[in-house]
Amino acid sequence: MSVLVLAEHEKGAFKKKVFEAVQYAAGIAQQQGTTATAVVLGAAPADALAQLGAYGAAKVLHVSDERLNSLSAKAYTKALATAAEKEGAKVIIALHDVTGKAVAPRLAARLKAGLVAGAISNPDTSNGFTVKKAVFSGKAFSYININSDVKVVTLMPNTFQVTKGDGSANVEALDVAFDDKDFGVKVKEVDIVKGEVPLAEAELVVSGGRGMKGPENWGPLEELAHELGAGLACSRPVADSHWRPHHEHVGQTGGTIRPNLYIAIGISGAIQHLAGVNGSKTIVVINKDPEAPFFKAADYGVVGDAAEVLPRLIDAVKKFKASQN
């Protein structure tokens, strides 16, 4: 009855959030007196998979069918359901990301398993199985009980620090009987924006609002993001005015992010914007209006004009980076 975890990969390479999910599953397994089994779908070199052991997986089940190289929610669900049955798994973990959100609910419905989407805590098993998640777009939290025998949890990335151990996992092949119907969604075109830090997984985010006055003033913001290795975001009016692309919009009706550092420049801090970003660990607000509501939600505030403050901040970051080398 191991704890199962979906380990997404790109040709055998894992992102940090996947290690985080494996570590999370291993923690739950330990709590339940069992071990964690990672499931890897699609072609990948077997030796790359054993490294998941360093994050707590005792075993890796590898379904190497090449048709799994891109997401097919039906096929992924079937593979995970097959693995869950083989392992007698009662708890199944995925990430609360694009893949996990497509697969975990399907799997939960198939297994008649209760699902918590976007967990930000380890399960409390003192009285059942209770997991914490953000609700009302980050304005509050709720504790959800899963009452079913089998449980599915998607973990919000960047919730826990990842610690590498020295274990190595046993890799086993798993055969799953797919049929053509499982691959009904065909990928026609993939368009990856080069050189950008994907917002959902950015640990640092630099964000601009209407106070930037126009898209022509984004240069310093981009430079700051580049110096920090940060993702770029913006407020809703900025996206609605087409100053910046829609995928950069964070807030209640845009993306919800939880980076370690969120630097908001020229954003007043409407309640809808705060909802999307108040899971950030540290918030810096730069605004020339000392009455901007965002200062109430900030850890550090700078009252000043972005056009003057930003170049100084960029210089300070460059100086800091030079001192670290």
Partner 1 sequence: MKILVCISQVPDTTTKIAFSDDKKQFKTDGVTFIINPYDEWYALVRALELKEAGTATTVNLVTVGTATAEPVIRKALALGGDEAIRINTDSDDPYVVATQIAAYAKAEGYDMVLCGKESIDYNNGVVGAMLAELLDMDYIGFANKLEVADGTATVTREIEGGQETDTAALPLVVSCQKGMAEARIPNMRGIMAARTKPLKVVEPVAVETLTSIASFEMPPAKTGVKLIDPENMDELVSLLHNDAKVI
According to CB under 8 A, which residues from 11 to 70 bind partner 1?
none
Tokens of 124: 């409390």
Residue 93 or 298 with smaller CB distance to partner 1: 298
Contacts of partner 1 in 272-311 (CB under 8 A):
272, 275, 278, 281-285, 295-304, 308-309
| Among 76, 71, 79, 95, CA closest to 23 | 95
Residue 117 binds partner 1, judged by CB under 8 A: yes
Residue 275: C-alpha distances to residues 192, 257, 305 (Å): 28, 10, 25
Binding residues among 197-236 for partner 1 as defined by CB under 8 A: 198, 200-201, 203-204, 228
Cβ atoms of 273 and 267 closer than 8 Å: yes
Contact with partner 1 (CB under 8 A) among 30, 125, 145, 170: 145
**CA distance readout (Å), 291 to 34, 201, 206, 273, 321:** 54, 31, 21, 16, 32
CB of 324 to partner 1, least distance (A): 9
Give the dihedral sign, CA 6/9/12/18.
Answer: negative
Q: Are 276 and 254 in contact (CB under 8 A)?
A: yes
| 86 three-class SS | helix
Distances (CA, A) of 85 to 81, 101, 108, 211: 6, 21, 13, 55
Residue among 56, 118, 208, 211 that touches partner 1 (CB under 8 A): 118
**Shortest Å distance, C-beta 9 to partner 1:** 12
Among the listed residues 180, 109, 120, the one whose alpha carbon sits nearest the alpha carbon of residue 154 = 120
From the CB of 145, what's the least distance to partner 1, in Å?
Answer: 5
| Closest to partner 1 by CB, 46 or 247 | 247
Pick 110 or 210: Cβ nearer partner 1 = 110
What is the smallest separation between the CB atom of 237 and partner 1, expressed in angstroms?
A: 14
Residue closer to partner 1, measured from CB, 196 or 218: 196
Which residue in the set 33, 126, 188, 242 belongs to the binding site for partner 1 (CB under 8 A)?
188
